[in-house]
Amino acid sequence: NAGVTQTPKFQVLKTGQSMTLQCAQDMNHEYMSWYRQDPGMGLRLIHYSVGAGITDQGEVPNGYNVSRSTTEDFPLRLLSAAPSQTSVYFCASGYGGPGDAEAFFGQGTRLTVV
Amino acid sequence: GENVEQHPSTLSVQEGDSAVIKCTYSDSASNYFPWYKQELGKRPQLIIDIRSNVGEKKDQRIAVTLNKTAKHFSLHITETQPEDSAVYFCAAHASGGSYIPTFGRGTSLIVHP
């Protein structure tokens, strides 16, 4: 059971470039989300999805797009990278039921925008 | 929406001492309060959680308490060890409803041998 798989682990982008961070889960979880982690700021929610075909914005959505065409995959797209997007990104998924609300995280992507 | 405040941001203790991390939340609809531990360079992982129908929960050296009236919950680690050094996050959300958790800003716990 792979859990939540996130790729790549490291990435360096030039300002203005675009890229997609991949996230896949094999636990049939309804809920998937993307967070960015910056020093002293904790985990801030970028976008989330409560099921295939449904996405919504979180706390810091600007500059990012998401889609959820399948239950398993939830890619995060950076449209035009900026130095302010230098961060560690985590994808997470969860069942969301009343008996099981634990969030399972991917291994993270350390992104540097130069 | 939910707002979670976490204190302190940094906590330094000697091995064997106890450590307490406190969180407050704003949304009275929240009923699930997990704690995650993130070791350096790793992903956050659940270490303990508590639901709103319980006041305290223990698991070996860690315990969590919840005061729903005051909207605060705390993580207690006894007999700290160097391997407890990590960043700890509290979170709050409505299990079974709006699943997405709101996280506190994290506490960096340093346990000195």
Percent of chain A having pLDDT more than 90?
84
Bridge-based pairing of strands A19-25 and A76-78 is antiparallel
How many Cα atoms within 13 Å fall on the side-chain side of residue A1?
5
Q: How far is A14 from chain B (nearest CA, A)?
A: 24
Interface of A with B (CB under 8 A): 30-31, 33, 35, 40-43, 45, 48, 50, 58, 90, 94, 96-98, 101-103, 105-108
> Residue A39: what pLDDT?
87
> Residue B5: what pLDDT?
96
Mean pLDDT computed over B81-89: 97
Minimal CA–CA distance to B62: which of B83, B42, B45, B47?
A: B47
Q: Which of A45, A90, A102 sits opposite B43 (nearest CB)?
A: A90
Cβ atoms of A24 and A73 within 8 Å: the answer is yes
How far is CA A47 from each of CA A78, B37, B63, B75, rounded to the nearest angstrom? Answer: 12, 22, 32, 28
The string of pLDDT tens digits covering residues A49-89 is: 999 999 999 999 999 999 999 999 999 999 999 999 999 99
DSSP conformational letter for B50: E
Give bridge partners of residue A36 from the DSSP assignment: A44, A89
Minimal CA–CA distance to A81: which of A89, A72, A73?
A: A89
- Tokens, residue A106: 């991917």
